Amino acid sequence: MDLNKKNLSCDLLIAGGGIGGLVAAVEAKENNPDLDVIIVEKQVTGYGGKANKGGGVLQYFQLDKITPMDFLKFHVNEIGGYLGDQELMLKYVEMNHELLDKMDKWGIVMPRNEEGNYFMMPTGPFTCMISVDLDLCIKMRRQAEKLGVRILDKVTVTDFAVKDGVIRGAFAYSILEEDNTFYTISASQVVIATGSQNYRVGAMWSSGRGDGIAAAYRAGAEMRNPEFGNFSQLIRTGSHGEVVFGENFMYNAKNEHVTKNFTDHRMTDISSLAIREWYVNMINGTGPIHLDYGPDKRDVRAVNQDWQRPYGQRFRECRQEFTNKFDNDLEVVPLLIGEQSCIKVDHDMQTTIKGLYAIGDASYCGSCAPGAVPAPPARNRGSGILNAVFAGVLCGRAAAAAKTTAPAAITEEETDACIETTYAPLKREEGCKAKEVIELIQQAMCPSEYSVYMKLDRMEEAEKLVKQARELSANLKADDLHDLLACHEAEAMVLSAEMHYLASKERKESRGWFLREDYPEMDNENWLKYIIIKNVDGKMTLSTEDVPYEKWPIQPPKKA
């Protein structure tokens, strides 16, 4: 095939034009207007990513009523399981109002009532959700363009150029047949803002394909906490619509309130215990599971419909119309969301490769901020968008303050080698389709007894499917550029599933969201550790890193 090879250069390259990437670009330019910034987005910047797909809520801390330490104590004990970076979590809470003020300044609509206060919905003893309209990424794109940020749409980053542990730029290709351009982009700083691995199951989350995670792994960046990439949400069997807070109202076929089997109080959000309860009832023959909200049968999410979000209103009306048509009852089943977000970063969001950053859902668990839960919602609704803004601000400030020096040159030989690897599926006359690989990975990850309520023998069954997918992925065939993109995303899914099960077999305990039937207790003596995975000469290697809890204010309970 005839390629149009193009060389570009900039100070800061951002892979991903969702809310995190856009915030990083704007924050960097506001702090250093002379910085040359390029955003590369495989779909359309302002419309890609997950932030504008229907959630539309932000985590809100009423800091006039609670202190950041109040929330930290609650989170560490009830959600994070002593595995979280308490310093980073405190900073996130302390910056809450600053982040909202920034969003307001950038033109993002956060509806208020007649008194001028945010529309709020309590979600726990220390948090609320406030609404945000679904054009937030469009508003951020306009802000970025005003500041002079360059944007490449319909272009996907495939790999990073690294030498001696230092970033030099990235390789990317257009997915438009009429364009057919392969880009070599030199940059002394690069940001991964491509989202988490969601395994292409849930519609709202399906844009998280894990391709940035896979590219970082291939480049030699360390991964941390990949076992916390198994988030599941209860959905209605009719419409497949998610049911937020429904875990508090679970009843089995005997009309027994089975929520009481795993909690004695209303939870802030779904835990893996609810998924386990669904599974146990189905195995015991007491399923299916239905929701019962009480005498008025009122869905607790109905309050959301009162929030004034003009841009997203039509979307919500269509969604409600679909739900009303297909939901004849409230039977629910778990849906795998995934949310693997394992790129290891420091407090500036820099990876273990100098000059390479990762933000938002690409690095949420790799930052360790949430502890023993997957990426947002991470048992805290509204933390997804706000965490992306938080990480984008920290990353943008760090990139703006860094001394920009010309990166080492990317050679023609390196470019040609990447082209050969990237376009290999297009050149094959025979091979398997991406769909075959994706279906095998979904079979390995979606069953709750494989990836959520885990046990060694069941994980080994899942690994056999992953191995089949790995073998097939070596012979992927693409018919066009969009098919080629699907092949690369399928490869990323295989890698993510491999990391998940390798780390899950290693963690021999149950903690937070992570559940093992064969190791049901939290083990603070042996497993206050992070699991690290790294590509070493093409081999996936595993090690552990002690949690430095001694320097943090909230200590785990001592052994009796």
Assign 307 a pLDDT band (cuts: 50, 70, 90): low
154 pLDDT exceeds 50? yes
Residue 64 is assigned to a structural domain of this protein: no
Give the pLDDT of residue 302: 44
For range 355-383, the mean pLDDT: 96
Residue 266 is assigned to a structural domain of this protein: yes
For range 140-145, the mean pLDDT: 98
Residue 219 is assigned to a structural domain of this protein: no
3-state percent helix, strand, coil for the chain, nearest multiple of 5: 40, 20, 40
Supply the CATH number for residue 257's domain. 3.90.700
Structural contact between residues 378 and 428, judged by C-beta atoms closer than 8 angstroms: no
Q: Are strands 356-358 and 331-338 parallel, antiparallel or unpaired?
A: unpaired
Chain Cα centroid distance, residue 237: 24
Instruction: Write out pLDDT tens, residues 468-498.
Output: 999 999 999 999 999 999 999 999 999 999 9
Q: Are strands 57-60 and 37-41 parallel, antiparallel or unpaired?
A: unpaired
| Strand blocks (E) in 319-400 | 331-338, 356-358
CA 165 – CA 125 distance, rounded (Å): 44
How many helices (H) and strands (E) the chain has is answered by 15, 19
For range 222-246, the mean pLDDT: 93
What percent of the chain has a predicted confidence (pLDDT) above 90? 84
Residue 72 is assigned to a structural domain of this protein: no
204 pLDDT exceeds 90? no
DSSP label at residue 296:
T
Instruction: Write out pLDDT tens, residues 75-120.
Output: 999 999 999 999 999 999 999 999 999 999 999 999 888 888 888 8
Facing residues of 536 across strands?
Answer: 539
Give the pLDDT of residue 123: 87
Give the pLDDT of residue 559: 66
Higher pLDDT: 53 or 9? It is 9
Give the pLDDT of residue 303: 44
Facing residues of 546 across strands?
Answer: 529
Assign 295 a pLDDT band (cuts: 50, 70, 90): low
Instruction: Write out pLDDT tens, residues 184-201.
Output: 999 999 999 999 999 999
Structural contact between residues 377 and 384, judged by C-beta atoms closer than 8 angstroms: yes
Residue 122 is assigned to a structural domain of this protein: no
Instruction: Write out pLDDT tens, residues 11-39.
Output: 999 999 999 999 999 999 999 999 999 99
Structural contact between residues 202 and 286, judged by C-beta atoms closer than 8 angstroms: no
CB within 8 Å of 277: residues ≥ 6 apart: 250, 258, 259, 261, 262, 289
Assign 122 a pLDDT band (cuts: 50, 70, 90): confident
Higher pLDDT: 112 or 446? It is 446
Alpha-carbon dihedral angle through residues 185, 187, 193, 199, given to the nearest 10 degrees:
50
Instruction: Write out pLDDT tens, residues 263-286.
Output: 999 888 999 999 999 999 999 999
* pTM beyond 0.85, yes or no: yes
Last residue of a domain, one of 336, 359, 376: 336
CA 10 – CA 14 distance, rounded (Å): 10
Facing residues of 13 across strands?
Answer: 38, 190
Structural domain that includes position 267:
231-336
CA 248 – CA 237 distance, rounded (Å): 18
* Number of structural domains found in the chain: 2
Last residue of a domain, one of 312, 336, 360: 336
Supply the CATH number for residue 463's domain. 1.20.58.100
DSSP label at residue 455:
-
Mean pLDDT of the chain: 94
Assign 301 a pLDDT band (cuts: 50, 70, 90): very low
Residue 66 is assigned to a structural domain of this protein: no
The sign one gets for the Cα dihedral 516, 268, 54, 214 is negative
Higher pLDDT: 64 or 295? It is 64
For range 158-177, the mean pLDDT: 97
Give the pLDDT of residue 254: 97
Give the 3-state secondary structure of residue 549. Answer: helix
CB within 8 Å of 456: residues ≥ 6 apart: 505, 518
Last residue of a domain, one of 288, 310, 336: 336
Residue 363 is assigned to a structural domain of this protein: no
- Identity of the amino acid at 171: F
Residue 510 is assigned to a structural domain of this protein: yes
